[in-house]
């Protein structure tokens, strides 16, 4: 059976599974729509959280970035993983104890202000739309190659599937769908990684193969280690050494920080901890999620290195002299059809050649790396189809979580808690579904017109979360003196500063996007950490010159700090 037929079968089967689960777990109340009724088992919630958190950026784009940039790409691994630990230890149990449906709900009540709630809603929606653009781009990339449709059509198909199970099932449907999606995406990611590790190093575990000696076709050791080989190839072709990178230390530090604190401020991940019965279960759930996430995140560096070696050698040939286009590997021609690989024969010798600088003839989109890896390594067709299903599972699971945040922010925080307080449960649920539908349409637009490759777009969303929501949440939990004026000022200034910096270098004047022009040498991907510092500084300064917080809010903060009891999510 050919790759396309297998892809239709495997992807079709997974889509049928997701839709079946959505029908089975259809939400009948706002509590089921927002927090799955608060009764999800911690292990299942850990799986769902891992699927929600490991988006198309993790599955499709992260290995591509690490593969192309080596050491520089490690900032994503360190930042996202460190951020999840911060979220699990410092925030999840306390927010679960508070027992609200959403992040804006917490901020609105903690800072006793509808204005604070509205600012948090705007921040959450802004972050989610930036993030979801990357997911829909990922869906389009997968469909464009494996179902041989254009990127736009692929995005439309993804929109239809997400709309169905997010709007119908709410958090209840999304949770159990994400459990299935985690199983699909982790299996799809690990199978090719294990295959290639065995082929190249003889080790079943890719994590061990990453630091191992390469073997020849007969299975004998070559005396050359994988990373030494990569360093040599990179230097030979004019790239920075794979294990050294090119970013300055300050930029590495700030990007890692922005990703880390941004992870801890992501509303669609935080809300997952409201779906378990007790505070203790939130802690257990966070631990399981970290285990499930670690399986992929410890494999990414190995898969990236394997893929990079294979890609360079199949493009340039074993002697690094180029390969005639007529006899080029089929994966190059397959991806050429999508426009995500292009070849420009600059010296008219009929050979393709990949290098760094003006002589380079190959333009390769980083987002194809994981999807193309099974083809590059000549793995069986069913593995290629499985990876396509895994990429879609990763993109769709996170898209659904983001859409839920958008819909609850509008229906619960903006309407129920602000503009229309007397709205019935049934009407609130209707508005939540309408908001989710609108969110799907907007997501589709950004998927068709993305502002960059997947992981870079997602990194911007994390920076915005770090600069706006994270300080307000962490101060809301641990500070007994932070008042509403301080929190609101911090969120607004932090978000405006970060968004302006990113917009200038990414959209208004991209020609100036270089280390010489950056503030203190900090890139747009890392500016979120500066925005976070600005947020904290403004918040504390304003709180010192404005009214103290009421005694009942101080008592509320004290009660949050000692997460005992069930803290069941409620609606008052």
Nearest CA to 108 among 88, 89, 97, 122? Answer: 122
CA dist 233 to 239, 240, 317, 355, 377, Å? 8, 10, 12, 10, 18
Name every residue whose Cβ is closer than 8 Å to that of residue 503 and which is 6 or more positions away in sequence: none
Q: For residues 177 and 22, is the Cβ–Cβ distance under 8 A?
A: yes
Q: Which residues of 68-96 are buried (b: 16+ CB within 10 A; e: fewer)?
A: bbbbbbbbbbbbbbbbbebbbeebbbbbb
Q: What is the pTM of this model?
A: 0.79
Which ranges constitute the DSSP H helices of 91-113?
Answer: 92-98, 103-110
**CATH annotation of 12-220+225-307+379-561:** 1.20.1730.10
Residue 180's pLDDT is 84
pLDDT along the chain (572 residues), means of 10: 81 81 63 54 83 76 83 83 80 75 80 86 78 74 73 80 66 73 88 91 91 85 87 83 82 89 77 72 82 90 89 79 83 82 84 83 82 86 86 76 76 76 78 80 77 62 85 89 92 91 84 86 90 95 92 84 50 43
Residue 36's pLDDT is 47
**If you write DSSP's letter for every residue of 390-443 in order, what string do you get?**
HHHHHHHHHHHHHHHHHHHIIIIIIIIIII-TT--HHHHHHHHHHHHHHHHHHH
User: Which neighbouring-strand residues pair with 476?
Assistant: none
52-78 residue pLDDT tens:
777 777 787 788 888 888 888 888 888
Nearest CA to 563 among 103, 38, 99, 101? Answer: 99
End-to-end CA distance of the chain: 57
User: Which neighbouring-strand residues pair with 213?
Assistant: 225
Alpha carbon 281 to its chain centroid, in Å, reads 24
Residue 456's pLDDT is 61
Angle between helices 425-448 and 381-408 (to 10 degrees): 130
**If you write DSSP's letter for every residue of 150-170 in order, what string do you get?**
-HHHHHHHHHHHHHHHHHHHH
Nearest CA to 406 among 445, 436, 446, 428? Answer: 436
Alpha carbon 10 to its chain centroid, in Å, reads 24
* SS3 per-residue string spanning 364-404: ECHHHHHHHHHHHCCCCHHHHHHHHHHHHHHHHHHHHHHHH
In the block, tokens 């405006």 appear at 496
C-alpha neighbours within 13 Å on the C-beta side of residue 512 = 12
The whole-angstrom separation of Cα 557 and Cα 568 is 17
The whole-angstrom separation of Cα 178 and Cα 362 is 37
Alpha carbon 553 to its chain centroid, in Å, reads 34
Average pLDDT over the chain, rounded to an integer: 81
Residue 567's pLDDT is 44
274-314 residue pLDDT tens:
767 777 777 788 888 888 988 988 999 999 899 888 888 88
The residue extents of the domains of the chain are: 12-220+225-307+379-561
Residue 418's pLDDT is 73
């Amino acid at each position: 059976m050919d790759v396309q037929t297998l892809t239709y079968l495997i992807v079709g089967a997974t889509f049928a599974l997701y839709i079946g689960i959505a029908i089975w777990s259809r939400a009948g109340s706002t509590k089921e729509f927002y927090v799955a009724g608060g009764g999800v088992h911690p292990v299942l919630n850990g799986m769902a959280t891992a699927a929600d958190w490991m988006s198309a950026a993790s599955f499709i784009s992260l290995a591509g970035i690490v593969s192309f940039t080596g050491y520089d790409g490690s900032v994503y691994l360190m930042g996202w993983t460190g951020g999840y630990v911060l979220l699990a230890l410092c925030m999840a149990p306390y927010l679960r104890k508070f027992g609200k449906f959403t992040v804006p709900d917490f901020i609105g009540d903690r800072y006793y202000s509808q204005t604070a709630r509205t600012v948090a809603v705007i921040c959450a929606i802004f972050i989610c739309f930036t993030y979801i653009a990357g997911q829909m781009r990922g869906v389009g990339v997968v469909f464009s190659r494996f179902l041989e449709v254009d990127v736009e059509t692929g995005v439309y198909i993804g929109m239809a599937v997400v709309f169905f199970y997010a709007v119908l099932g709410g958090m209840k449907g999304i949770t159990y769908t994400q459990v299935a999606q985690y199983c699909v995406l982790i299996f799809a990611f690990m199978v090719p990684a294990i295959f290639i590790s065995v082929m190249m190093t003889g080790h079943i575990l890719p994590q061990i193969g990453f630091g191992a000696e390469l073997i020849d076709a007969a299975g004998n050791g070559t005396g050359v280690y994988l990373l030494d080989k990569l360093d040599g190839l990179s230097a030979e072709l004019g790239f920075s050494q794979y294990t050294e990178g090119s970013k300055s230390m300050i930029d590495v530090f700030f990007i890692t920080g922005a990703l880390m604190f941004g992870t801890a401020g992501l509303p669609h991940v935080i809300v997952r901890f409201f779906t378990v019965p007790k505070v203790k279960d939130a802690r257990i759930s966070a631990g399981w999620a970290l285990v499930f996430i670690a399986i992929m995140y410890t494999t990414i560096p190995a898969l990236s290195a394997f893929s990079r070696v294979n890609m360079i050698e199949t493009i340039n040939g074993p002697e690094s002299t180029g390969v005639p286009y007529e006899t080029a590997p089929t994966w190059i021609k397959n991806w050429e059809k999508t426009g995500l690989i292009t070849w420009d024969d600059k010296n008219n010798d009929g050979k393709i050649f990949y290098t760094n600088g003006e002589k380079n003839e190959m333009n390769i989109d980083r987002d194809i790396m994981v999807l193309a890896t099974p083809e590059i390594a000549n793995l069986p067709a069913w593995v290629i189809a499985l990876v396509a299903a895994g990429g879609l599972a990763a993109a769709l699971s996170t898209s659904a979580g983001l859409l839920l945040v958008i819909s609850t922010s509008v229906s619960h925080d903006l309407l129920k808690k602000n503009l229309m307080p007397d709205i019935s449960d049934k009407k609130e649920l209707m508005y939540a579904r309408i908001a989710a539908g609108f969110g799907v349409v907007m997501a589709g637009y950004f998927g068709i017109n993305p502002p960059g490759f997947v992981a870079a777009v997602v990194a911007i969303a994390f920076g915005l979360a770090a600069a706006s929501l994270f300080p307000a949440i962490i101060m809301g939990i641990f500070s007994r003196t932070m008042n509403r004026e301080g929190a609101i000022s911090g969120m607004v200034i932090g978000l405006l500063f970060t968004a302006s910096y990113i917009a200038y270098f990414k959209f208004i004047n991209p020609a100036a996007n270089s280390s010489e022009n950056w503030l203190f040498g900090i890139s747009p991907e890392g500016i979120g950490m500066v925005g976070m510092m600005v947020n904290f500084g403004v918040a504390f300064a304003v709180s010192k010159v404005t009214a103290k917080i009421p005694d009942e809010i101080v008592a509320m903060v004290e009660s949050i700090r000692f997460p005992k009891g069930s803290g069941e999510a409620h609606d008052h």
